Structure 1
């Protein structure tokens, strides 16, 4: 079972603001990119089809603390760690590093839902077996101390 994943991304010009710094909202996009790449590494997609509708993973919490700026062309490592796993939800921590130095730390909690297109309703449900069977909580020593 897997409890962590790392993705390297380069900051693009379009992701920066007028000061040349990566806009804060893009940290959330980078977290989501790392999450989706994590799922692909396990052999499935964020789009979880099921008969008569689909399962989704809406965010119920997202946060990010910023320590240093990222600029255009910076290469950043996004380190995903599974903080918590429940029957219907997962919480991920994300540590952003540039040249080995932490520049930000974020978190996302997702809840598994069944979406019924006929009624356009969502109801929380258990994580699919492919997630439940392949994802585990990271050991405490994997989480660096907060600065």
Structure 2
């Protein structure tokens, strides 16, 4: 079973502001990118959509603490660790690192996100639903040592 994943990407010009710094909203996009990559790596559809049956993972809580700015061209690692798996939700911890060389990196942000599995009802509302067996069989909470790693790892 899986409990962590790391995605790597390069900062694009369009993700920066007039000062050349990454706009804060993009950190939340990076978290979503890591979540998508994690689901893909474990073989689970992040969104299930067919007429009359739309299932997805809306966010019910997100936060991010920023330590250093990112700039255009920086290479980053986005580390996702599963904090908790409940009947209807998954909580993640994220750490975003700037790569400073082949073996060196520094943590620039730390965040968390809680998502709830929902189905779109006929009236357009969202109804939370239980996580299916295929999710519970593939995703588990990370060991405490993964969640408590030193910030410069």
2:116 alignment counterpart: 111
Q: Secondary structure at the match of 2:92?
A: strand
1:140 alignment counterpart: 144
1:16 alignment counterpart: 16
Question: Alpha-carbon deviations, 1:33-67, whole Å to 9, x = none?
Answer: 11011111111221124673121110000100000
Aligned length: 146
1:52 alignment counterpart: 52
Q: Once superposed, what is the RMSD of the aligned Cα atoms?
A: 1.6
Q: Following superposition of structure 1 onto structure 2, how do residues 1-147 of structure 1 map, counting pairs within 5 Å?
A: 1-49=1-49, 52-99=52-99, 100-116=105-121, 118-143=122-147, 144-145=149-150
Indicate conservation of the 8 Å contact 2:11/2:76, yes or no.
Answer: yes
Relative to the length of structure 1, the TM-score reads 0.93
How many Å apart are 1:90 and its aligned residue? 0.4
Question: Alpha-carbon deviations, 1:88-144, whole Å to 9, x = none?
Answer: 00000100011221110011100011112x221221110122211100000000122
Indicate conservation of the 8 Å contact 2:107/2:151, yes or no.
Answer: no
Relative to the length of structure 2, the TM-score reads 0.90
Mean alpha-carbon deviation: is it higher for 96-105 or for 70-79?
Answer: 96-105
Indicate conservation of the 8 Å contact 2:60/2:116, yes or no.
Answer: yes
Q: Secondary structure at the match of 1:32?
A: helix
Unmatched segments (≥5 aa) in structure 1? none
Unmatched segments (≥5 aa) in structure 2? 100-104
Separation in 2, partners of 1:69, 1:33 = 19
